[in-house]
Structure 1
Amino acid sequence: MMNTARKIWLIGVGTGNPAHVTIEGMRALRDAALILVPHKGQGKDDLAEIRYRIIAASGSQAKIVHFEYPKRDPGLPYQERVASWHDEIARRWQAAIAAAQTDGPIALLVWGDPSLYDSTLRIAARLQPKPAVQVVPGITAIQALTAAHAIPLNVVNGSVHITTGRRLRADGIPQGEDTVVVMLDGQCSFQSLDPEGVHIWWGAYLGSDKQRLIEGPLGEVGNDIVQTRAAAREKHGWIMDIYLLRIG
């Protein structure tokens, strides 16, 4: 049974390249007593395998327990759907932890960084009794994207707006913004924009041997990105991608 002294380490593992995991992250994996690994269903075995490779590279001797990731209920309104999904993930964490019957720190490997566009912290807050949560930061998809394209994130004296595909479709590019980073976009929402004067840098499977990069004026490369993304997702069964838009 977990008590209030039980520690949970949320370890950012970047975009899946073991070389991108920090020394602190590798040390946390070695010091963990239990590591929880989600399995996301048929066609997404690669995601679990990447986690297992990172664990192996760390030299960890922790007990590894996997749990099945639940699916969202498409019949619910968006906010309610996400909240219900998070509740169920927390229940599965709790069940996996209880079944493992171990003492000591618990670790979960989080894509990118747990503090940026990730819900792991919100899920951990649902556990009862509440554990002591520690975040081990990792390389973000934003860092991996700008590094892969060898571009700076911002222009001189410019701001950066980070959003999702859902918000981009609903709101467009906020007035006055010159750099917009779009995450969690399964619908290529840049298609809803007026492409005039917009440059895009897109990347998928960043830092891996599957990495794909496309950049150019949105009006010229937008369709190429849509087609490349669809083909890659069909081939691998999953995709993680991100893009940066520069206006002007």
Structure 2
Amino acid sequence: MDAPVRVRILGVGMGPAHVTSEVADALRSVDYVLAADKTDPETDARTDEDPLLELRRAVVGAFPGPDGPAEVVAITDPPRDRSAGLTASQYESAVADWHAARAARYADVLRRRGGTAAFLVWGDPSLYDSTIRIIEHVRALGVDLGYDVLPGVSAPALLAARHRIVLHEVGRSVHVTTGRRLQEAVAAGLDNIVAMLNPPPHRLDFTGLHEWTIWWGANLGAPGEQLLSGRLGDVEPLLPAARAAAADTDGWVMDLFLLRRT
């Protein structure tokens, strides 16, 4: 019979400095942490491991329990179709297949190990992260588990703090979406938009938006943090170099922006 498992889904912002005391206590109590290793030995020329896996190890190491830091169990991340030309349905299908493959790998480890496991989520688990969905999928595969979720500092909160702004004007709303759906939001009449999970700048469609104001950030809270703001038409040419600088410093890049009609 499989051992029962407790899973803790922990929001960790962008590293140890953003870990709340609640999440720190949880990290001190778990038996191990499951983490995706996205290094591809066939296409990645680096000899070291996935830099985001290294960052997860730093988070865990900053909050050791009585017997030292929890063990980090690295699981090779399954491949995902990231082709630029995917339709909306093809994109959703590719993500669903990726999540299913992840769930199967996590289920195998959780069945064998039991105990209390943690998943560390960049930012906050409630916003553009699928760990909760994947854990539900693991349960559907027959793993006897219960889980809880602890919040973290979200990327939009960090963006607003770095630029010293409020994400919306008085009494107005803010729409949160992905970069690939930016023009869809604009067509719906939305004019105060946070875009996350962005592709490289050359794949973003900024048509008709160059008089809008942008507040952009990459790798917020990391050594390679980059910030830009101003009229989109002036800022857009600067985005590729700033994004590359973040990637060169940290070995990875995550960016987002707030775009508002002037």
Residue 177 (structure 1) shift:
2.7
The Cα of 1:139 is off from its aligned counterpart by: 0.4
Quote how far apart the aligned CAs of 1:85 are: 0.4
Give the superposition deviation at 1:86: 0.3
1:137 aligned onto 2:151:
yes
* Separation (CA, whole Å) in 2 of partners of 1:190 and 1:81: 20
Q: C-alpha root-mean-square deviation of aligned residues, in Å?
A: 2.1
Count of residue pairs the alignment pairs up? 243
Which residue is 1:228 aligned to?
A: 242
- Taking the aligned partners of 1:2 and 1:137, their CA distance within structure 2 comes to 29
Alignment match, 2:77: 69
2:117 aligned partner = 106
C-alpha displacement of 1:74 = 5.0
- Shift of the alpha carbon at 1:172? 4.5
5+ long unaligned stretches in structure 2: none
Structure 2 CA distance for aligned equivalents of residues 166 and 191 of structure 1: 8
**Structure 2 counterpart of 1:26, from 24, 27, 31:** 24
Partner of 2:93: 80
CA distance in 1, matches of 2:157, 2:150: 16
Partners of 2:78 and 2:102 within 8 A in 1: yes
1:51-105 deviation per Cα after TM superposition (whole angstroms, max 9, x unaligned): 1111011113433311111110358821211111001101111122234x342x2
> 1:177 aligns to what?
190
CA distance in 1, matches of 2:77, 2:36: 6
Distance 1:2 1:12, change over 3 A: farther
% identical aligned pairs: 40
Most deviating of 115-124 and 225-234: 225-234
Q: 1:211 to 1:121 in 2, by over 3 A?
A: same
Cα deviation 1:82-133 (Å, max 9, x = unaligned): 111001101111122234x342x21010111111110111110111235212
Residue type matched to 1:239 in 2?
V
Residues 131-166 of structure 1 deviation map (CA, whole Å, 9 limit, x = unaligned): 212111000000011111111111011110000012
Tell me the equivalent position of 2:8. Answer: 9
Counterpart for residue 40 of structure 1: 38
Secondary structure of the residue aligned to 1:192 is coil
Q: Matches of residues 165-204 of structure 1 in structure 2 within 5 Å?
A: 165-169=179-183, 171-188=184-201, 190-204=204-218
Counterpart code for 2:120: L
SS of the residue aligned with 2:181? helix
Corresponding residue number in structure 2 for 1:119: 130
Contact in 1 for aligned 2:107/2:143 (Cα 8 Å): no
1:178–1:82 CA distance, 2 compared to 1 (3 A)? same
> Partners of 2:92 and 2:195 in 1: how far apart?
19
Q: Which runs of 5 or more residues in structure 1 are unaligned?
A: none
Secondary structure of the residue aligned to 1:58 is coil
Larger mean Cα displacement after TM superposition, 173-182 or 157-166: 173-182
Which residue type is aligned with residue 181 of structure 1? V
Q: Distance in 2 between matches of 1:195 and 1:182?
A: 14
Q: How far did residue 232 of structure 1 move?
A: 3.6
Q: 1:2 to 1:55 in 2, by over 3 A?
A: farther
Q: Where do 1:159-170 residues align within 5 Å?
A: 159-169=173-183
